[in-house]
Amino acid sequence: MTIASSTPPAPRRLDPEDAQLALRQVQDLLRRQQLVSELAHRQYAENDRAGLMENLLHRQHDAEIKLLVDQLHPADIAFILESLPKDERQIIWSLVDHSHDADVLLEVDDWVRESLIEAMDRQDLVAATSDMDADELADIAPDLPPDVVAEVQKGLTDEERARLLTAMGYPEDSVGAIMDFEMVRVREDVTLEVVLRYLRRLGELPDHTDQIFVVDRQDRLQGTLPLTRLLVSEPETDVRDVMSPDFLALSPTDSDADAAGAFERYDLVSAPVTDEQGRLIGRVTIADVVDVIREDSDEQALSRAGMQEEDIFAPMRAAMRNRAPWLLLNLCTAAIASIVASRFEDTVSHIVILAFLMSIVAGIGGNSGNQTMTMIIRALAVGRVTPDNVWRLIKKELSVTLLVGLCGSLVAGGFAWFISGEISIALVMMGAMVCNMLVGAGVGVLVPMVRARFGKDPALGSSVLLTFATDSLGFFIFLGLATIFLV
Amino acid sequence: MTIASSTPPAPRRLDPEDAQLALRQVQDLLRRQQLVSELAHRQYAENDRAGLMENLLHRQHDAEIKLLVDQLHPADIAFILESLPKDERQIIWSLVDHSHDADVLLEVDDWVRESLIEAMDRQDLVAATSDMDADELADIAPDLPPDVVAEVQKGLTDEERARLLTAMGYPEDSVGAIMDFEMVRVREDVTLEVVLRYLRRLGELPDHTDQIFVVDRQDRLQGTLPLTRLLVSEPETDVRDVMSPDFLALSPTDSDADAAGAFERYDLVSAPVTDEQGRLIGRVTIADVVDVIREDSDEQALSRAGMQEEDIFAPMRAAMRNRAPWLLLNLCTAAIASIVASRFEDTVSHIVILAFLMSIVAGIGGNSGNQTMTMIIRALAVGRVTPDNVWRLIKKELSVTLLVGLCGSLVAGGFAWFISGEISIALVMMGAMVCNMLVGAGVGVLVPMVRARFGKDPALGSSVLLTFATDSLGFFIFLGLATIFLV
């Protein structure tokens, strides 16, 4: 955020386009730079003064970009870096003031951080990382060259080094991986007056401090003292008398998604993390939780299309590696479905119109099954499916599908009649469509449930199986019925 | 959350299954109740004592459920109500202590709230809603019977009534709809000592108060005073000297998604809302923002399958109304695609095997286009697409698709050769597949961009258009090439 001038400031309006505007300006400047270089090279290749001129303009552009970028919030700088192709990203990154290095490195997405670190020399890296907290360092350590990590470690206190090792030891999707170690702890037998004096001595409180943690001599968490309660209570009161002895403590091995659920449900801003003995070892804040929620939702959207997080300007090879496996998998299932269908070559050669109707049957089964599956995956995700209501759910999904299928099959049958002129084909079409929609509903209910039952992510891979089933069985049912009744 | 006993409490562990466990217990008790009723009715239909017995057991079960439910957090009660079919939901709702009514009504999803309100009598409704803040009341007012709203309004002060009208006037997805009016404001020319005394006099601060707002006599926002800074500064200091004159102010007409983006980017806990004159009119907190983020992500997942938020136990009619339009739409596009294909009836009747290969070509084009579209929609959503990089993006997507398509077509061609025994069919298959994947990539890039250009949600409806294009054109290209080269 920009620093306001000394005149009474007007409130800064939220402008979601702020960052995008800056991005466009940066792109504009980069483009002008390119143009100047090209002109200089083309027209005055031999001319020293053209070189000088180019150099001058180049420096001017750099200065403009630097001015623009340096007044941005690190989160906005990160956004711009993420939105540029690698070569331009490196140019901008080299212009970012070193004082922002650490914040930007922490803000950018993983796939960008790598390229930024690549472009920094050892000294800058050490400088940027040596002021980081243990939990921040743990986040980016995997991307750092080992010698930099070693160098930075030397500058840490024993306590910080221990924290770094702890933080690096937790798996990626655990509470341990998102917790930080910056928090204020007090004893329960002091007065609020003492706490207030202590806070003033600290001079600064960690970000997102909405509560102080009350611990005993063994560092076991006894309660929490919200700042709002600290502020409204009389200073003579003992901490013990105003703290909440009832609090929710996370374990470092809890999943981050569960923690996010708790934050969402109970509207938390921060939550303590304790070990098995109840000792306070860290804290999770809403800022990390919001990131978890956003990343999970992004991941789901991508994995549904068979992809992982990808730089929009990723090099060809990376993009291909990301996308090809999914397409190959779908190619294989489609091939198997077409083998199933080809068993009915005789039937189709008799009544060619079946060839054009069979993909409708397969497609609608897939669409309908996808609706059921989306419902079930969401119900599973929020924990709404219990042994008690499973049957009720399955029955409901099958009945809804049956009813929708019956209505839809009238339309489809009408179409089949229109295109083929034969009522018998229309009847086969209707029967096959209803059956295949039931197949879709069955697979849509069962696959996610079975996957969840065995502790797997119910969403992943379910859609491939669904399409496979509705395609293969759709062809089989439709052409099978046709073989029986029409040939 | 449960109230801890007076012995030193062990920290309560996060247990995401807590609510689910309670749900299962409730279901269990409901089931036992049902069983008892059935037994009593079946076996002793004529017997008065059986009726008495049933009554007794019934009351005992009710008491057990009540005991269980009353110790839950309102958010957990809401979860249980959302997870039960309507009839059982009403039973539990009637057992929930009235002191929880207001909180639960505010916590539950819209589609459940309606049925809960239906089940309450006028008096309970007035009691539950009369203690709500204006912004809370505005949230649920649309679901309330008009006479209840009128009754509750009478009990409001003029200021609260004005707020209620204001809050109800903003559209659903705006900052105005999620802001609240509970906040602490101070003048800049007082000392922190005065502020601290003022807070103590208030006795309680609104939830999620992480900062106090500094306003002038006209209520224009001058700055913000974070509680953490208030706590660490010397009491003699003036507010003016410690407040942040640089802050981000939302406008009530900003979109809630943009506000969520700002909270996420700048790690905010609360943000002031000001009118055009810079006067402070409300506040948005992270709790509302987290709900916005979650709801948006849920909505996206559902709309991709052509659905809206639906009760998992919604009555048949509601479920059908929710799902049928999407299936009908897909049925129509599939029918059109099959009409396109049926133009080539002669070709297919000559070479029947084409009928089984054409759906592979169509399917892979759709899958590949879906990957491209997912990338583009995400890039658009975060604002990464600018006029400057559009061409670069399109070129990249087409190149990646071309390369992946060439590799994939080798596999597909090999399969076609294997199944048909003819190399010419394999070559047609390869050509058609690459072309159709390029169609998919083109549609995947253009449709979301054009929709975004015209201010529409780029995600909505894009997938129907994509499938339509890759199906119809896939059939057309494949059968067209086959007609030219094979017949």
Low-confidence ranges of chain B (pLDDT < 70): 1-17, 41-50
CATH code of A284's domain: 3.10.580.10
Same domain, A150 and A236: no
Q: Where are the alpha helices (DSSP H) in A343-422?
A: 345-350, 353-381, 390-420
B321/B456 same-domain check? yes
Rounded (10°) angle between helices A423-453 and A353-381: 30
Query: What mean pLDDT comes out for the span A172-192?
Result: 92
Tell which residue, A441, A469, A412, has the closest CA to residue B333: A412
Closest CA to A82 of A59, A49, A113, A127: A113
Last residue of a domain, one of A147, A173, A199: A173
Most B-contacting residue of A109, A205, A327 (CB-CB within 10 A), to test interface: A327
What does residue A190 show for φ and ψ, rounded to 5 degrees? -105, 165
Contact A231 B233 (CB under 8 A): no
Looking at the complex, does the CB of residue B205 fall below 8 Å from at least one CB of chain A?
A: yes
Residues of B in contact with A271 (CB under 8 A): 14
Whether A311 maps to a domain, the answer reads: no
**d(CA A147, nearest CA chain B) in Å:** 32
Size of interface A-B (CB pairs under 8 A): 429
Chain B CB within 8 Å of residue A404 CB: yes
Residue A179 placed within a domain: no
For CA atoms A261, A262, A266, A269, give the dihedral sign: negative
pLDDT interval class at A481 (50, 70, 90): very high
pLDDT per residue as tens digits for the range A400-428:
999 999 999 999 999 999 999 999 999 99
Give the predicted TM-score (pTM) of the model: 0.86
- Domain match, B327 and B404 both: yes
Q: Which residues contact A124 (CB under 8 A, 6 or more apart)?
A: A98, A101
A233 lies in the same domain as A358: no
Q: Does A85 touch chain B (CB under 8 A)?
A: yes
Q: Could you tell me if B222 and B272 are in contact, meaning their C-beta atoms sit under 8 angstroms apart?
A: no
CB contact under 8 A, A305 and B371: yes
CB of A382 less than 8 A from some CB of B: yes
pLDDT at A68: 85
Query: What average pLDDT does range A233-252 have in this prediction?
Result: 92
B400 near A CB under 8 A: yes
Give the residue-averaged pLDDT of A166-194: 91
User: Are B320 and B433 in a shared domain?
Assistant: yes
Which one of A125, A143, A173 terminates a domain?
A: A173
Q: Which residues of A touch B364 (CB under 8 A)?
A: 327, 330-331, 334
In angstroms, the CA B34 to CA B89 distance is: 14
Confidence of residue A3 (pLDDT cuts 50, 70, 90): very low
Q: Are residues A32 and A143 in the same domain?
A: yes
Residue A33: per-residue pLDDT: 79
Contact flag B233-A200 (C-beta cutoff 8 Å): yes
Residue B239 falls within a domain, yes or no? yes
pLDDT value of residue B30? 83
Domain span holding position A294: 185-303
Say if A4 falls within a structural domain. no
Among the partner-chain residues B271, B313, B330, the one whose CB lies closest to the CB of A396 is: B313
Domain assignment of residue B180, yes or no: no
Residue B225 within a domain:
yes
Residue of A384, A436, A438 best to disrupt the B interface, most CBs of B under 10 A: A384
The enclosing domain of B124 has a CATH number of: 1.25.60.10
The number of beta carbons lying within 10 Å of the beta carbon of residue A461 is 16
Residues from chain B contacting residue A205 (CB–CB below 8 Å): 228, 231-232
Please state, in angstroms and rounded to a whole number, the distance separating the CA atoms of residues A128 and B315: 59
Domain harbouring A437, CATH code: 1.10.357.20
Domains of chain A: total: 3
Which structure tokens are listed for B207? Answer: 């939830």
CB-based contact (8 Å) between A21 and chain B? no
Structure tokens at A444: 């849509």
Residue A114's pLDDT band (cuts 50, 70, 90): confident
Residue A272: the pLDDT is: 95
Instruction: Kindly state whether residues B203 and B80 are assigned to the same domain.
Output: no
- The winner for highest mean pLDDT among A70-79, A347-356, B81-90 is A347-356
A312 touches chain B (CB under 8 A): yes
pLDDT of residue B48: 67
pLDDT band of residue A463 (cuts 50, 70, 90) is confident
- Is the domain of B220 the same as that of B324? no
pLDDT of residue A46: 56
The predicted model gives A269-290 an average pLDDT of 93
Q: Is A8 within a domain?
A: no
**Whole-angstrom distance, CA of residue A412 vs CA of residue A351:** 18
Per-residue confidence (pLDDT) for residue B47, from 0 to 100:
62
Q: Are residues B265 and B406 in the same domain?
A: no
**Neighbour-count burial of A424, counting CB atoms closer than 10 A to its CB (0-12 exposed, 13-18 middle, 19+ buried):** middle
Q: Which residues of A touch B10 (CB under 8 A)?
A: 278
Taking an 8 Å cut-off on Cβ atoms, the answer to whether B404 and A323 are in contact is: yes
CB distance from A253 to chain B under 8 Å? Answer: no
How far apart (Å, rounded) are the C-alpha atoms in residues B486 and B423?
11
Cβ burial of B429 (10 Å; 0-12, 13-18, 19+) is: buried
Question: Of B303, B336, B364, which closes a domain?
Answer: B303
Q: What residues of B are in contact with residue A297 (Cβ under 8 Å)?
A: 293, 297, 300
A354: in domain: yes
Inter-CA distances, B63 with A109, B56, B210, Å: 52, 11, 41
Q: Domain check: are A247 and A323 in the same one?
A: no
Average pLDDT over residues A147-156: 86
What integer pLDDT is reported at residue A48 of this predicted model? Answer: 67
**So what's the ipTM on this one?**
0.86
**Mean pLDDT, rounded, of chain A:** 87
Same domain, B219 and B320: no
> Are both A37 and A169 inside the same structural domain?
yes
**Distance from chain centroid for Cα B485:** 51
